[in-house]
Chains A and B, each alone.
Chain A
Amino acid sequence: MAKLKPLNVNGKRVSVKYDDPQMPLLYALRDDLGLHGPRFGCGLGQCGACTVHIDGVAVRSCITPLATVEAKQKIVTLEGLARGTKLHPLQQAFIDEQAAQCGYCINGMVMQAADLLAKNKKPSEADIKNALANNLCRCGTHVRIVRAVKRAAAA
């Protein structure tokens, strides 16, 4: 029998179904809650496509067992980044810089960069590149992504 787990996702209290407490958070977010922001890329914590925030910190949801997430912790996905209708400065900057090709990695880029900007309001180019070093992009959109993060930091 599937069990229910309460979570706080994008400011809402929800409950997700699970059989296996070791199921990664990613599958609860995508398959149970129907979110499209966090993406399955590797299931190994190597590419960053699945990144979400837990209490403001970027984590790889594909290797975060549901059992380790507490109901009081605030999970934020790409869908919850905007304030009402106003996009997060990073979302706006990525649009303004046209910083996507296929866009599959972009969730991770934005979520990881948001974590960086929360800690470092004026990052250097090297800071940005280092912060995103474990987020992979195969289309080669890197130069635009760096520009977009710089733009958001200046906004």
Chain B
Amino acid sequence: MNIQISRRDALFGSGALVVSFSLTSALDQATAQAATKPVALTEVDSFLAIDKSGKVTVYSGKVDLGTGVYTALQQIVADELDVPMSRIEMIQGDTLLTPDQGKTWASITIQIGGMQLRQAAAAAHASLVDEAAKKIGIPASELTVADGVISGGGKKVTYAELIGGKSFSIKLDPKQPVKEKDPKDYKLVGKPVARLDIPDKLTGKFTYMQDFRVPGMLHGRVVRPPAIGARLEAVDESSIKDVPGIIKVVRDGDFLGVVAANEWAAICGARELKATWSKAETLPDQAKLWDYVRATKVVKDEVTSNVGNTAEAMGKDDAKTLKATYDFAIHTHGSIGPSCAVAEFKDGKLTSWSASQATHALRGQLAQMFALAPENVRCIYVDGAGCYGRNGHEDAAADAALLAKAVGKPVRAQWSRADEHGWDPKGPPTLIDLRAAMDAAGNVTAWESEFFVPQAGPGLDVPLTAATLAGMPQLPVPFPGNIHQDSAIPYKFASVKTIVRRLETTPFRPSWIRTPGRMQNTYANECFVDELAAAAGVDPLDFRLIYLDPADKRGIELLQRLAQLANWQKRPSPQKSASGSVAKGRGMSYVKYELVRTYVGVVAEVEVDRSTGEIRVPKFYVAHDCGQIINPDGLRNQIEGCVVQTVSRTLIEELEFNRSQVTSLDWDSYPILKFPQVPEIVIDLIDRPAEKPWGAGEPAASVTPSAISNAVFDATGARLRSIPYTPTKVKAAMPGS
């Protein structure tokens, strides 16, 4: 990367340094770090630059993890700034250049990150028009703007002429938002603009993190312990003396790795290196996982909703009470490309290239680990395989850095499949107890729930495995728990009490996997709602409509559109005509995400083979309202992905382990959904151009497990309460079994 810095005059304010660069040439880090291109969220220059040729550079702290936001964010900026998309270049997740907009997680890239960019573009646009008014000599209100050209009174001036190469020097204040365009004037927002990255992904031109190389780079592989918590007792370096290309065996505490001149040598070296480890059995017996979770100490209770007096309602003589326990297995991210990173130490500074969803947070972690000032660490995002949360990318970055430091040269650390399946942090096991009471007329009088979820530490970063193994410093108690949202429910029952019971510990290093917490919470809630509807003998759609807040018009409209889309026939579950070897049924689920944003309703159609217990999901219907749609095709792509990935998690996926380590270390032992099992997906997008855009990368996933569970109940009368829904569990749940 060739970063050229020059002092230029500011157009509208004080002078500032502006950085321009080309992604294709070599990095000139020393020069670059002398730059003062702002990265504060309060500066337009942090987000946008326009050069003398009129090229617009967008600096985004949010990154495209394969979701299409690289394109969608540019649609937002292009529309707000009145420039063609072809004139935009976007830099993502570079701690030197992009603002810290937080991690790319939680379905907030468009909702928050995109709106920060829209504000910056609107502020830039307004200033450019004001400046043009002065230059042309007619009022701003009489000017028109198109394609970066401002016209009026027969005169015109381009953005490049007004600002080219200079800084805007405009402050942004979220409390005093700049006026944005009227949505009716959008030309790109709301349109299915083709993704900018896809052609290169189809021709092999695209550079993934796994393809990324720097001059003089060596290849590293880690050798993880055979048991979590095992200590490294001895290493026999002579065991790989005959492997050509080995450069160094790197040992630091319990961290072990091999650096070699080429990748295959590193692979062979890591595979053949003889090391002696102590025994360690830190994990619970998998067969008794739920007993373990239930026995784990509760360190804190969080009451997430409390209406009326549930205890009193449950205790009434005529109360019909129901209770159920749901559990949700430990899942792995399962990225198709194992994690990879490159690191280089030079002049006391660390540069780290990785596919991290959180380069700014990673910078803090790496700075702590190597006792460097954060400004001496630069983390740069390079697209990787989809990660769906915090998988192993950050750990690979720490591995690469540790190896690079040990050999004094840039090192690429590429994880194996077993490293990825075995050592990425996991979605924690979740247990949910639910209770409810109904009166004689079938009205729900009480709803109580307890969610057994790992506690969250003060930091929301996952510990770096290399730092843990090497005993290097880490930020205090980073320990992400799981998310409490959607433990509270959208239904107005007479009394409600929902509690998140925070557990002291959980078997594996926990992290977030697509729809963390909200998936497990919504799963239990929407299954239990279906249980109540069945107990009351009421159609599941009607049941939801009875208890939804009548003022929540969007939620009600969504369910009505879902019913129409799925041709929902009103009747209570289970269906009566249950005969034949294959039972068919349909199930519904609904979420108002975190009770404040995206609405999703789904209907799953399932087929259950009574003799084998196998579930097929031939069809899924989705009604989706995330407000203003930026790119409807990108949105559909995300919804489809949510459904397919979550059908896989619901039906198949479960981490396997013994007392020492993960044992499901490949795709045979941790299978995921394959083509023949993938459902047809029918989607109804509700576009609301005048509303705020909300997230869409997760919400449709949150309702998928419950819809399947409810459909299996509808088909067979078997209530599934333990994910994954394996044939063995299905057969055991069948009535009469």
Contacts and interface: CB of A to CB of B under 8 A. Distances in A.
Whether chains A and B associate is yes
A103 interface: yes
B267 to A, nearest CB: 8
Contacts of A91: 202-203
Nearest to A107: B204
B435 interface: no
A105 B208 CA distance: 12
Nearest to A35: B204
A100 interface: yes
Contacts of A41: 336-338, 417
A49 B336 contact: yes
A138 B334 contact: yes
Interface in A31-48: 31, 35-37, 39-44, 46-47
B384 interface: yes
Nearest to B355: A102
Contact of A78 (B204, B337, B416): B204
A140 interface: yes
Nearest to B207: A36
Contacts of A95: 194, 198-199, 202
B512 to A, nearest CB: 16
A142 interface: yes
Interface string B325-347: 00000000011111000000000
B197 A103 contact: yes
A102 B644 contact: no
A102 B385 contact: yes
Size class of the contact patch on chain B: 35 or more
A140 B667 contact: no
A104 B336 contact: yes
B203 A144 contact: no
A102 B680 CA distance: 21
Contacts of B640: 140-141, 143-144
B641 A141 contact: yes
Interface stretch (B62-70, B144-152, B585-593): B62-70
Contact of B666 (A31, A46, A139): A46
B211 interface: yes
Interface residues of A, number: 58
Contacts of A136: 336, 667, 672, 674
Contact of A140 (B206, B207, B265, B643): B643
A142 B678 contact: yes
B676 interface: yes
A35 B678 CA distance: 31
A47 B668 contact: no
Nearest to A142: B678
B202 A143 contact: no
Contacts of A98: 194-195, 198, 633-634, 637
A94 B198 contact: yes
A14 interface: no
A55 interface: no
A85 to B, nearest CB: 11
B210 interface: yes
B414 interface: yes
Contacts of B210: 39-40
Interface in B645-697: 645, 648, 666-668, 672-676, 678, 680-681
Give the interface centre of A49, A87, A94, A138 by most chain B CB atoms within 10 Å. A138
A133 B676 contact: yes
Interface string A131-155: 0111111111111111000000000
B226 interface: no
A82 B203 contact: yes
B204 A36 contact: yes
Contacts of B676: 126, 129-130, 133
A61 interface: no
Interface in B184-202: 194-195, 197-199, 201-202
Contacts of B201: 100, 103, 106
A103 B204 contact: no
A37 B204 CA distance: 4
Contacts of A94: 198, 202
A7 B408 CA distance: 35
Contacts of B507: none
B245 interface: yes
A110 interface: yes
Contacts of B673: 142
Contact of A102 (B386, B672, B681): B386
B337 A49 contact: yes
Nearest to B634: A98
B206 A47 contact: no
Contacts of B199: 95
B205 interface: yes
A77 interface: yes
Interface in B555-612: none
A79 B66 CA distance: 21
Contacts of A137: 336
A36 B667 contact: no
Given A36-B211, A136-B667, A136-B674, A104 B203 contact: no
10 contacts: A2-B244, A36-B204, A42-B338, A100-B202, A101-B66, A104-B386, A110-B202, A136-B336, A136-B674, A145-B675
Interface of A: 2, 18-20, 23-24, 27, 30-31, 35-37, 39-44, 46-47, 49, 77-79, 82, 87, 91, 94-95, 98, 100-107, 110, 126, 128-130, 132-146
Given A36-B204, A36-B211, A37-B204, 9 more contacts: A87-B203, A94-B198, A98-B198, A100-B195, A130-B675, A132-B675, A138-B386, A139-B641, A141-B640
